[in-house]
Chains A and B, each alone.
Chain A
Amino acid sequence: MRITDNMRFASVQRSLSSLRSRQAELTDQISSGSRIGAPSDDPIAAAGLARLSAQAARTADYRATISTVRSDISLSEGNLAEASSLMVRAHELALQGANGTLSTADRQMLAGEVAALQEQLVSTANARGSRGFLFSGNLTDTAALSSGGVYQGDDQAQQVELAPGVVAGVTVTGAEAFTAAGGTDAFATLTALRQALESDDAAQVAATLGSIESSRSQIVRVQAKAGLIMNRLDSADEALAVTGLELERRRSVLGDVDPFSALSELSQLSTTLEQAIAVARNTLLGSGNLF
């Protein structure tokens, strides 16, 4: 084949420029740490990255939801603990009041304390969380108990999605904790106790002991349920954290540069480039030297 001068120059230029461009590409990747600067660098990986980022966003959403509802259910649990200790106190008062040796005045005093307990129960049941009244079910803008102890909420727990496809109730309602719907009406029980004390009827006072106890255990049951919900939220959150890490790992595998292979390729490239330059120097020796 006839080799002309421009062919020699062009071939030197082509080989050097392709080496230089690969070198620039590698340097870019290493300095940015990312293998993919634009979708066309690796369309399949780019689509994979977009999918992973959507999944990661969903995972973060679930965790955000969990942290939002977690504070409310923890508040509920605390308030139920308080309500159950109110019932414990009521039980003590009922025991005292059932004692036949107690004077009428003493019973009136006890009745006064029960009335105070009732007020506390109403204010505990009407505690507010981040989304409104804690114990009103879905009617979060309505107080759970009226001052007369009538339940005004509904019996629906708030449903949220904790993980893909897992929709669970994450609140407890006043209906199950404080009303006859859950077994015993706490406020009405206290009213019965107060009235028995006011009418100075020791036997009647003793008769309320059973329902006070069942009301307390009902509240404790719901408190335990709140505890279980918290556990469930925590374990769901942990699982999501693991998922998040796994997604991050996959994203890194897909989109990040492997620094070792990239660096070794780069140093290999530098060697090749030096050789190519040496060859080029030879190639470019002019014909003028021959004559």
Chain B
Amino acid sequence: MGITDILNTARDAMAAQTFGLTVTGQNVANVNTPGYVRRQALLETRDMGDKAYGSVHVAGLQRVADRFVEQRHLALTGASAEASTRDQLLAQTEALFNDFEGTGLSGSLNALFSSFSALSASPSDLTTRSTLLGRAQTFADQVRSSSDQMQNFRTDLFSQARELTGQINSKLDTVAQLSGRINQARAAGEEPADLEDKRDAELLELSQMVEIHTYTDGNGQLVVQGPGMTLVQSDQARHLSVDIDTDGSLRVLAETAGGNGSDITKFLSAGQLSGILTVRDHDVVEMQSELDTFAFHVASQINSAHAAGFGLDGGSGRNLFALSASADGAAGSLALSADVADQPERLAASSSASQLPGNGSQATLLAQLGSTPIAALGGLDPGQAYARLVGRVGQRKSDAAAQLSTREAMTAQVEVQRQSISGVSLDEEMVALSKYQRAFEAASRVFTTADQLLEDLINTLGR
């Protein structure tokens, strides 16, 4: 053991503390950087051969992250993004049925029955008849337009899904590239912490779009598992695409070696893509079918009552609405029947061909349909049935909002956990700063002391 060893130790110590200061500086600098995971300087004793004492050695840098918390964070971010997408999209469909101002479908339904009522009081009045025709037309137009708007919405959602898959694919490519660069860095013996930060940030964004799980395989390679399919392995990415199935529903395909793509639609369960899919092929489809059922049964009840009556010309057996044969697609094709269009005198207000034009009993029956329960609509009258439809649309939206707030709360919780583990605490960094500074001061003191010793030695013995 010699005095020069002390000098070496002091040198190592000063280098190590300087490294610690650098890491602290980096942490402080990145306190607000999204996705930044705090670093810890890894110091260890350097053993000095067979001697009982040693020096310090900078072993490297550690990213302080909990793999399981990170996994949970990815999963919950995906679930939140799905709920948020569904909530936003349903707010748009809700607007279709939000007619508290009395201008929507419920207003025109009420106006139609009001017109029947007015016709029963003035069966021979042509103005009343024309008004009724106009209102029947408005009702049919609004039903059709609600149905059309939902159909257009589904088309829009397909475009959105297509755009989103484009973004997903470019993220997958980025993740694969980063994985490749991380591999190269590791092979060159470098510490790719910054690249890993970047990859984690990309994965987090990816998890908002589509459900992913990540794990590290036996070779230390990151594997990104998507819905029912591996999406990234090492530096290779598998692309997604969307198309329309024969029944009009959206299909998500994963690229396969053969080229045709494998259908992974049924595996989707989180992320924006799943939100779009749920709204497009589940929520909106159900709303459409409820509107179809409503329109079909209301219009067919009106038709059969109207067909039993007599117009001013004595004619009978005419429908008021042109209606499809079954409830399927009824709302989208509802229109005024050609039998009565532009011919108000043909409206069947009378219950008898011999009591024209003063008999308005059939119009009374038609007006009564407004408050007559319809078995096929669950025993509700048209107004109630529409109210139930509106209630269900609202319920759907409010369920989605409740789901969103639950998932957001869970995500916030895991974010807190993640921050708690990986976030930068300025308090800690301040303490670390002092710690390394003091240690550096002490090390330089060791250095001066050793230097002093040497000087003494040289001055005393060298004389």
Instruction: Write the residues of chain A forming the contact surface with B, with a CB cutoff of 8 angstroms.
Output: 1-7, 10-11, 14, 34, 36-44, 46-51, 53-55, 57-58, 60-62, 64-65, 68-69, 130-132, 136-141, 154, 156, 158-161, 164-165, 167, 255, 286-288, 290-291
Q: Is B155 an interface residue (CB 8 A)?
A: no
CB <8 Å contact, B425 and A5: yes
Bound-complex Cα distance A55 to B420 (A):
58
Inside 8 A of B383's CB, which chain A residues have their CB?
50-51, 53-55, 57-58
Bound-complex Cα distance A37 to B394 (A):
11
Instruction: Write the residues of chain B forming the contact surface with A, with a CB cutoff of 8 angstroms.
Output: 31-32, 90-91, 94-95, 97-98, 100, 102, 106, 109-111, 113-114, 117-118, 120-125, 350, 352, 354-361, 364, 367-368, 370-371, 381-384, 386-388, 390-398, 401, 412, 415-416, 419-421, 423-427, 429-430, 434
CB-nearest residue of chain B relative to A61? B117
Whole-angstrom distance between the Cβ of A226 and the nearest chain B Cβ? 16
Q: Which of A6, A51, A61 contacts B419 (CB 8 A)?
A: A6
CB <8 Å contact, B114 and A60: yes
Q: Which of B357, B392, B427 contacts A43 (CB 8 A)?
A: B392
Bound-complex Cα distance A287 to B398 (A):
42
CB <8 Å contact, B397 and A131: no
CB <8 Å contact, B398 and A6: no
Q: Which of B31, B360, B384, B420 contacts A159 (CB 8 A)?
A: B360
Q: Which of A53, A132, A159, A255 contacts B364 (CB 8 A)?
A: A159
Bound-complex Cα distance A165 to B111 (A):
19
Whole-angstrom distance between the Cβ of B243 and the nearest chain A Cβ? 32
CB <8 Å contact, A160 and B110: no
Q: Which of B110, B371, B421, B427 contacts A53 (CB 8 A)?
A: B110
Given known A-B contacts A61-B117, A131-B125, A161-B364, A43 and B358 have beta carbons under 8 A apart: no
Inside 8 A of B98's CB, which chain A residues have their CB?
38-39
Inside 8 A of B384's CB, which chain A residues have their CB?
51, 54
Q: Which of B111, B425, B434 contacts A2 (CB 8 A)?
A: B425
Whole-angstrom distance between the Cβ of B36 and the nearest chain A Cβ? 10
Inside 8 A of A4's CB, which chain B residues have their CB?
419-420, 423-425
CB <8 Å contact, A10 and B415: yes
Whole-angstrom distance between the Cβ of A46 and the nearest chain B Cβ? 5
Whole-angstrom distance between the Cβ of A167 and the nearest chain B Cβ? 6
Inside 8 A of A160's CB, which chain B residues have their CB?
120-121, 360, 364
The total number of A-B Cβ pairs within 8 Å is 204
CB <8 Å contact, B110 and A140: no
CB <8 Å contact, B118 and A68: yes
CB <8 Å contact, A43 and B387: no
Bound-complex Cα distance A50 to B122 (A):
28
CB <8 Å contact, B394 and A46: yes
Whole-angstrom distance between the Cβ of B312 and the nearest chain A Cβ? 9
Inside 8 A of B398's CB, which chain A residues have their CB?
40-43
Bound-complex Cα distance A130 to B113 (A):
21
CB <8 Å contact, A39 and B364: no
Which of A14, A37, A55, A290: most chain B CB closer than 10 A? A55
CB <8 Å contact, B124 and A140: yes
Inside 8 A of B395's CB, which chain A residues have their CB?
39-40, 43
Q: A138-B352, A159-B360, A160-B364 are in contact. List 11 more A-B contacts (CB 8 A).
A: A6-B32, A10-B415, A39-B390, A46-B391, A51-B384, A64-B114, A68-B122, A131-B123, A131-B358, A138-B359, A287-B425
Whole-angstrom distance between the Cβ of B192 and the nearest chain A Cβ? 24
The 4 A-B pairs with the shortest beta carbon distances in the complex, nearest first, are A54-B383, A39-B394, A47-B391, A4-B423
CB <8 Å contact, A40 and B397: yes
Whole-angstrom distance between the Cβ of A1 and the nearest chain B Cβ? 6
CB <8 Å contact, B100 and A49: yes
CB-nearest residue of chain A relative to B429? A287
Q: Which of A11, A51, A61 contacts B118 (CB 8 A)?
A: A61
CB <8 Å contact, B416 and A140: no
Whole-angstrom distance between the Cβ of B120 and the nearest chain A Cβ? 5
Bound-complex Cα distance A54 to B114 (A):
10
CB-nearest residue of chain B relative to A11? B416
Bound-complex Cα distance A136 to B386 (A):
41
Given known A-B contacts A38-B397, A49-B100, A140 and B360 have beta carbons under 8 A apart: no
Bound-complex Cα distance A158 to B95 (A):
43
CB-nearest residue of chain A relative to B423? A4
* 16 A/B residue pairs, CB under 8 Å, sorted by A: A2-B425, A40-B94, A40-B393, A40-B394, A40-B401, A43-B394, A46-B390, A51-B384, A51-B387, A54-B384, A58-B110, A58-B383, A68-B122, A131-B358, A138-B355, A141-B124
Bound-complex Cα distance A214 to B401 (A):
77
CB <8 Å contact, B391 and A50: yes
Q: Which of B118, B350, B352, B357 contacts A141 (CB 8 A)?
A: B357
Q: Which of A58, A132, A137, A161 contacts B124 (CB 8 A)?
A: A132
CB-nearest residue of chain A relative to B104? A50
Given known A-B contacts A38-B94, A54-B386, A68-B118, A7 and B419 have beta carbons under 8 A apart: yes
Whole-angstrom distance between the Cβ of A62 and the nearest chain B Cβ? 7
CB <8 Å contact, B386 and A6: no
Bound-complex Cα distance A288 to B117 (A):
78
CB <8 Å contact, B390 and A50: yes
Bound-complex Cα distance A287 to B24 (A):
15
Bound-complex Cα distance A132 to B371 (A):
30
CB-nearest residue of chain A relative to B391? A47
Which of A139, A140, A291: most chain B CB closer than 10 A? A140
Bound-complex Cα distance A46 to B394 (A):
8
CB <8 Å contact, A137 and B420: no
Inside 8 A of B430's CB, which chain A residues have their CB?
287-288, 290-291
Inside 8 A of A48's CB, which chain B residues have their CB?
387
Q: Which of A5, A41, A161 contacts B31 (CB 8 A)?
A: A5
Whole-angstrom distance between the Cβ of B377 and the nearest chain A Cβ? 13
CB <8 Å contact, A5 and B121: no
